[in-house]
């Protein structure tokens, strides 16, 4: 029992701290890339080796490390839950983390594959949120989070809609990218908080 509690604590710690690696990598990369503009660039421009090798290494490594660590945590969640719908939601989220990892592996220099793995990341985890949200509506104690999981992705889709529709005040995609990523991070952190408070016992037994 003690070992199980320790493993849960360590797993949630890894899952919670992992996004900070990517955020730190982004901040450092921007700090040494004076050319970067939030309104005109994409975050992936920081990972382009033609724009600066050091910044690119830091940026891409941060995404790879974060992707690996979060993927490990999600696999741990998948193994712990016996609820089928929750498994499906976490499985989709696992695909998202793999997409994040691949963005770091296949930078803009890799060509068109970079576009595909970026789409895989940014447009898969909203479906993870929707799946989890619709599934957890069954549980009164999780209903508030279920509603949040269902509603929040529409904000991200709106940001992408106005970006590609050329009605946003920015021309690049860095702003919708970071806001969408932050929404996923906060969502993950809330799941970890619920896990630590044992509020997920209905789907993840202690």
25-40 confidence digits (pLDDT tens)? 999 999 999 999 999 9
Least confident span in 36-40, 83-87, 164-168, 202-206: 202-206
CB 163 within 8 A of CB 173: yes
For residue 79, count other CB atoms closer than 10 A to its CB.
11
Determine, yes or no, domain membership for 104.
yes
> What's the whole-model pTM score?
0.93
Q: Which two tokens stand for residue 115?
A: 């576009």
Confidence class of residue 2 from pLDDT cuts 50, 70 and 90?
very low
pLDDT, position 158: 95
Domain count, the chain: 1
Confidence class of residue 9 from pLDDT cuts 50, 70 and 90?
confident
Determine, yes or no, domain membership for 206.
no
Tell me: pLDDT of 8 over 80. no
Q: In whole angstroms, what is the distance from residue 14 CA to residue 16 CA?
A: 5
CB 140 within 8 A of CB 123: no
Determine, yes or no, domain membership for 22.
yes
Determine, yes or no, domain membership for 202.
no
Confidence class of residue 82 from pLDDT cuts 50, 70 and 90?
confident
Confidence class of residue 1 from pLDDT cuts 50, 70 and 90?
very low
Residues 6+ apart with CB under 8 A from 7: none
Sign of CA dihedral 93, 107, 168, 23: positive
CB 71 within 8 A of CB 99: no
Average pLDDT in the 100-115 region?
96
pLDDT, position 7: 60
Angle at 89 between CA 15 and CA 67, to 5 degrees: 35
Q: In whole angstroms, what is the distance from residue 134 CA to residue 89 CA?
A: 10
Tell me: pLDDT of 194 over 50. yes
pLDDT, position 94: 97
Determine, yes or no, domain membership for 34.
yes
Q: Which domain holds residue 135?
A: 2-196
**Eight-state DSSP code of residue 193:** H
């Amino acid at each position: 029992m003690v070992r199980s509690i320790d493993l849960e604590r360590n797993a949630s710690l890894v899952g919670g701290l992992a996004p900070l690696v990517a955020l730190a990598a982004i901040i450092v990369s921007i700090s040494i890339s004076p050319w970067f503009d939030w309104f005109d660039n994409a975050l992936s421009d920081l990972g382009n080796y033609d724009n600066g090798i050091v910044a690119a290494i830091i940026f891409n490594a941060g995404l790879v490390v974060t992707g690996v660590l979060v993927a490990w945590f999600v696999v741990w969640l998948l193994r712990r839950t016996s609820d089928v719908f929750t498994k499906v939601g976490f499985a989709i989220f696992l695909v998202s983390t793999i997409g994040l990892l691949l963005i770091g592996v296949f930078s803009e220099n890799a060509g068109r594959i970079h576009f595909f793995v970026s789409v895989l990341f940014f447009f898969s985890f909203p479906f993870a949120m929707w799946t989890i949200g619709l599934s957890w509506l069954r549980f009164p104690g999780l209903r508030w989070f279920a509603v949040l999981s269902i509603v929040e992705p529409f904000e991200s889709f709106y940001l992408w809609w106005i970006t590609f529709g050329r009605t946003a005040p920015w021309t690049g995609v860095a702003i919708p990218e970071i806001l969408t990523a932050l929404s996923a991070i906060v969502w993950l952190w809330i799941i970890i908080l619920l896990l630590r408070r044992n509020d997920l016992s209905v789907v993840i037994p202690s």
